[in-house]
Structure 1
Amino acid sequence: MSGNGNGPLSGAVVAVAGAGGPAGRATLIRLAEAGATVVASDADPARLAEAVDAARYAHGGATVTGDTVDLLDLDATRAWADRTEKEFGRVDGLVHLVGGWRGSPSFTETDLADWEFLEKLLIRTVQHTSMAFHDGLQRTGNGRYVLISQSGAHKPVANNAAYNAGKAAAEAWTLAMADSFRKAGGEDGPKAAATILVIKALVHEAMRAERPTAKFAGFTDVTELAEAIAGVWDRPATEVNGQRLWLTPQP
């Protein structure tokens, strides 16, 4: 999709959760370039402000706002969704970029405190954002819920049990949301879509600068991820609802 602002994202209102990291920054810029109004949130106000400023700077005319929202609080998340729809008249997307990783030396050395940490970041934030934005995405006629997942959800490994299980649960929850959209659409098909983009790992400019000889095989550049996120709106809801779109070879 070109950045001329005439595509399906032109005039759309898209919320981005976990917008403060490199992937969030790339996504804000790409959505703004496509003509969307972008409503970003992150738990870290400083990182969020930097990402919002970068997107505004990249696209002078774009509306990019930042909001520090506690996504572990369902009421706060619902208030964010309601406020977004009220302020801008619609909400066309929620991109879920909230992440976190904890690994272990071996399967039996898994620290279950890591599971408690990851369950909040990887699952609870998906539950809250999906429930809070579901109805608004349905109302708008071209709504998209986009989850970023990881290939380990499909091929779990011994030292990543907590992370892999967390990602698998987040995928299952998102597919249940997709089924809700499918049922609501009836014979006409879903009006909104819940989609999963699956990566192995992300790479960005700073990582390449730190490790100039590294190959990063199978990694997805954050700009490619942002492009794939924007592309979810290019395809009809019936085509992407309940689908996993692989950005890395399927295990």
Structure 2
Amino acid sequence: MDGNGGALDGAVVAVAGAAGPAGRAALLRLAEAGATVAAADADPGRLAEAVDAARYAHGGATVTGDTVDLLDPAATREWAERVEKDFGHVDGLVHLVGGWRGSASFAQTDLADWDLLEKLLIRTAQNTSLAFHGGLGRSPRGRYVLVSAAGAGKPTAGNAAYAAAKAAAEAWTLALADDFRKAGGEAGPRAAAAILVVKALVHDAMRAERPKAKFAGFTDVHDLAEAIAGVWERPAREVNGHRLWLTEKP
């Protein structure tokens, strides 16, 4: 799909956590699909590189970048309002803020890891969903997309904090989906909140660092970006409140 009348052609999609490998891939794919992309990240240097790469790859695409502290609800809401004001509407928020901490065993879990992951994985999802809720509800194709991990449903001993944070972010997103469902009434939801589930993500730099690793079950960031774009290609009722698996279910 290249913006010629596709599901994302003319859409305005915000991407939170846009400066990492998954964010870069998402910016490229969304811009290719004809969307206007509003990127945000806490790292201005990496964000500028990601935005420039998407603009360069797709000449004529509108890709903007804002340095936003997504742990600050007021700053996040200002970003959401600015996106809708500048472009007239907002049709999506893709949540790619990530992070990982783990331990050798359950007993060795450091609750400082939870303190960090609660902020990165849960609080940023709360702030973005609340900030963009109104705009997505006003859109005829609003989508909120969260990326989660298979471990949220089958946690391992050393991943207690990470799995619990991912599970909480999923529950929050499903509550948003229920709100969209109720707002749609008998006609069905206009907007949708969906969860893309991966085992873990892999990108070219990881493969270069570990050329002999197989990364079994991992999802390439470009395949993730394709799945993100695909959420707009399906009716809201088919994706709202659903976990869309990109890896084998545990």
TM-score of Structure 1 vs Structure 2, range by shorter chain? over 0.9
Corresponding position of 1:231: 230
User: Please, what TM-score do these two structures have when normalized by structure 1?
Assistant: 0.98
Per-residue Cα deviation, 1:153-173 (whole angstroms, up to 9, x for no partner):
010010000000000000000
For 2:176, what is the secondary structure of its paired residue?
Answer: helix
Q: Which segment is superposed worse, 206-215 or 134-143?
A: 206-215
Amino acid at match of 1:15: A
Q: Is the 8 A contact 2:202 2:219 kept in 1?
A: yes
Q: Is the 8 A contact 1:6 1:34 kept in 2?
A: no
For the pair 1:37 / 2:36, whether they are aligned, the reply is yes
**In 2, Cα distance between the equivalents of 1:237 and 1:189?**
8
Q: Is the 8 A contact 1:5 1:33 kept in 2?
A: no
Q: Is the 8 A contact 1:199 1:247 kept in 2?
A: yes
Per-residue Cα deviation, 1:80-126 (whole angstroms, up to 9, x for no partner):
10000000000000000000111012101111111011000000000
For 1:177, what is the secondary structure of its paired residue?
Answer: helix
Corresponding position of 1:241: 240
Corresponding position of 1:49: 48
Per-residue Cα deviation, 1:24-70 (whole angstroms, up to 9, x for no partner):
00000000000000000011111100100100010011000000011
TM-aligned CA deviation for residue 8 of structure 1: 1.2
For 1:232, what is the secondary structure of its paired residue?
Answer: helix
Corresponding position of 1:68: 67
Amino acid at match of 2:51: V
Q: Is the 8 A contact 1:14 1:38 kept in 2?
A: yes
Q: 1:105-184 alignment to 2 at 5 Å? A: 105-184=104-183
Amino acid at match of 1:16: V
**In 2, Cα distance between the equivalents of 1:177 and 1:199?**
21
Gaps of 5+ in 1: none
Q: Is the 8 A contact 2:121 2:165 kept in 1?
A: yes
Q: Is the 8 A contact 1:41 1:66 kept in 2?
A: yes
Q: 1:196-215 alignment to 2 at 5 Å? A: 196-215=195-214
After TM superposition, what 4+ stretches of structure 1 lie above 3 angstroms from structure 2?
Answer: none
Q: Is the 8 A contact 2:3 2:35 kept in 1?
A: no
Corresponding position of 2:13: 14
Superposition CA RMSD, Å: 0.7
**In 1, Cα distance between the equivalents of 2:177 and 2:239?**
9
Name the % identity.
Answer: 78
TM-aligned CA deviation for residue 5 of structure 1: 3.4
**In 2, Cα distance between the equivalents of 1:155 and 1:119?**
18
The number of residue pairs the alignment matches comes to 250
For 2:13, what is the secondary structure of its paired residue?
Answer: strand
**In 2, Cα distance between the equivalents of 1:86 and 1:187?**
30
TM-aligned CA deviation for residue 211 of structure 1: 1.8
